[in-house]
Amino acid sequence: MSLYLERYAWQHELFPDYQPPDNLSMVVVIPCFKEPDIKGALDSLNACKPPSNQILIIVIVNESEKATKETKKETLNTLSQLERYNSNYSMLVSHQILPDKKAGVGLARKIGMDEAVRILRKVGNDGAIVCYDADCRCDTNYLDEIELAYSIPETQSGIVFYEHQLHRENHQAIIDYELYLRYYIASLRHAKFPYAHQTLGSCITVRASMYEKVGGMNTRKAGEDFYFLNKTIPHGGFVEINSTTIRPSDRVSDRVPFGTGKAVNALLNSREVYEVYHPNTFEDLRLFFSKIDLFWNEEDWKLPMTLSTFLGDDWKEKINEIKNQVSSFEAFKKRFFHWFDAFKVLKFVHFCRDEFYQNVELEEALDWLRTKHFFLKGSKESYLVQLRYLDRNTKWNLAKM
């Protein structure tokens, strides 16, 4: 048994008697809580072109130990659906009653992904673990393209391209929310932040050994995806699998404290315009990141007031500390961005919002982004179509490490 499985994994093996096939190369993990249509998500997987090697689907049906009678009833209905379901692929189902303080998508994902590591280790395969949500849909080449990405030994983790389902009921709300997600990442790419990638949980893929290396999935009730990828991406071997698409649901949800469902609900219940982070925040970041070579070669540095205030008086000492730990500029850049990582970037963005730059209307922010990257002015839906195209084709000026 590995050190990770021995010390850090969910200690209860779910399927000790399961004997995986020798050519198992991919495990799809689906956390499932209050999902009325798990069948639709599985149907979408079943419609996929079969990959060349075997795959396994693990469904973690979960609820809190303090679940309401209504939730328990929904859980039993889900389990009944799964018991009757005729899958084209091997499928294992586990019903988990979780401690109330930890019950949530993070722990459910972790339980399933930990089990995926155990199963892949049984056959000695360092295969892919794929996160998929119980309300998602996917293209028919979804499994095939993930398998292709992980046939390259250098691939250690990645995300699948996504497009939210755009149903009429929540049409404008989900457009606004997805525009915000794409605006934020596009703005970080404009700022030349090298780890600017989408972080939706249903888009995550990771090689089993990398999953263990970074300490596995965290148990947060929301945001588990962001924190997991923040650990994973800097290790290298990260890919964007843009040749297929996963389609998260646009439905209203109260299952997590934040995320798509919560955001859509808030947008539908608000009469105010949708606001996002001010573009000046990202221009300040761009200026900061453009000075990295000066940090390496010079001693006298000046920063925008936002960053000098955010970092405090000892930030120069931190820069010098990093310099003293390395012998090359490339190593310095790598350590610099391990320090000023995606989590610190997000804290800076929130600091600017609270202390310097008030949020602006979404359309104003998109107009700023449009002038920087030369896409066409239009409606919000037109902007979304163009941003999806740019993201899929990686047309942004990505910072190089």
Query: Domain locations in the chain?
Result: 3-167+193-265, 276-392
Please, is 48 exposed, middle or buried when counting C-beta atoms within 10 Å of its C-beta (0-12, 13-18, 19+)?
buried
Q: Whose CA is closest to 173, among 271, 269, 270, 267? A: 267
Q: Which phi and psi angles does 173 have, rounded to 5°?
A: -65, -45
Mean of pLDDT values over 247-271? 55
Could you tell me the strand order of the sheet in which 238-247 lies?
Answer: 90-98, 54-64, 24-32, 128-131, 204-207, 157-162, 238-247, 137-138
191-208 pLDDT per residue, tens: 999 999 999 999 999 999
Q: Which phi and psi angles does 135 have, rounded to 5°?
A: -120, 15
Whole-Å CA distances, 317 to 292, 299, 351, 388: 15, 11, 21, 41
* pLDDT score for 273: 80
29 band by pLDDT with thresholds 50, 70 and 90: very high
* CATH class held by domain 3-167+193-265: alpha beta
49-75 pLDDT per residue, tens: 999 999 999 999 999 999 999 999 999
237 band by pLDDT with thresholds 50, 70 and 90: very high
Q: Which phi and psi angles does 242 have, rounded to 5°?
A: -95, 0
* pLDDT score for 378: 86
* pLDDT score for 51: 93
- Residues 6 or more apart whose Cβ sits within 8 Å of residue 203: 131, 159, 160, 161, 162, 225, 246
Longest dimension (CA), the chain: 69
Find the range with the poorest average confidence among 239-248, 255-264, 348-357.
Answer: 255-264
- Residues 6 or more apart whose Cβ sits within 8 Å of residue 143: 26, 28, 45, 48, 49, 50, 51, 55
- Are the beta carbons of 204 and 110 closer than 8 angstroms? no
Q: Whose CA is closest to 220, among 231, 208, 205? A: 231
- The Cα 78–Cα 375 span in angstroms is 44
- What is the chain's length? 401
